[in-house]
Amino acid sequence: MAKRSVLGLYTEEDSAADALDNLREAGFEEGEYEILTGVPYPEGTFGEAEPEHNLYRWPLIGAICGFTIALLITAGTELAYPLITGGKPILSIPAMAIIMYEGSMLGAIIFTIIGIIFESRLPRIFMGAYSEKITEGHIGVTVTTDETRTDAAETALNKAGADGDIIRGWE
């Protein structure tokens, strides 16, 4: 069944927290509703669940990939065109270490960026129910649910004193 989203806007943090309580009482589950704000509030301000993420794994994977690629490039170039200097080994570890270090860091940073975008569930093609007032200080509570339950969601949002009309959107 097609999913619809509805959005209620609030000017006070307490009203938005009440809206979440009403939604829970009306039988909506975590994952069906979300808070939208124009500013990062301290976690749990609205009584929402703490978001889980695995971002810390991404830089480690990236660093391993970057290190491996840098190792292959440095060792590969030295072996492909051997420069024998004063009878020293062809593979020059101090020089390789510099490039491998940079490779590891570059890999870690690129993977972290990819991780941030992925874990933030971006890019999001359809905005669903959204209002430009959110970036002006309003707090949005959006519910994404089956078309049959949108009326119940609207009632719960209005009960908490939504500012203006409830906005509807497609997912």
Partner 1 sequence: MQEHTQLSHKQINEDLLKDVLTVPKWWLPAVAFLGLVVLTGLCAFFFMVYHGLGVTGLNRPVMWGFFIANFVFWIGISHAGIMISAILRLTQAEWRRPITRAAEVMTVFSLIAALHTPLMHVGRPWRVLYWIFPYDFSRGIWPNIRSPFVWDPSAVGTYLIASTLFVFICLIPDIAILRDRAKKPIVKKIYSQMALGFRGTPRQWKLQIVAGILLSALVLPVFVSVHSIVSWDFAVLIGVEGWHSTIFAPYFIIGAIHSGVSAVAMLMALSVWLYGLDKYIKPDHFDAIARLLIVVATTWFFFFFLEWVYALYTLDSPDIALRELQALQWPYGPLFAIFVITSFVIPVPLWLFKRVRRSAALMFWTTILVNIGMWLERFLIVIPGLLRRTHMTFDWGTYHPSIIEILIVVETFAFVCLGMLLFAKVLPLIPLFDIKEGMVNRRLIKVGRRVVPATIREGLPHHYYEKKH
Please give the residue ranges that form the binding site for partner 1 (CB under 8 A). 34-45, 48, 50-51, 53, 55-56, 59, 73-74, 76-78, 80-81, 83, 85, 92, 95-96, 98-99, 101-103, 105-106, 108-110, 112-113, 116-117, 119-127, 130, 132, 134-137, 140
What residues pair up with 35 in beta bridges, in sequence order?
Answer: 141
- Minimal distance in Å, beta carbon 103 to partner 1? 7
Using the minimum distance from each CB to partner 1, give the nearer residue, 58 or 150.
58
Using the minimum distance from each CB to partner 1, give the nearer residue, 2 or 125.
125
Using the minimum distance from each CB to partner 1, give the nearer residue, 115 or 156.
115
- Minimal distance in Å, beta carbon 29 to partner 1? 16
Using the minimum distance from each CB to partner 1, give the nearer residue, 1 or 40.
40
- Minimal distance in Å, beta carbon 122 to partner 1? 4
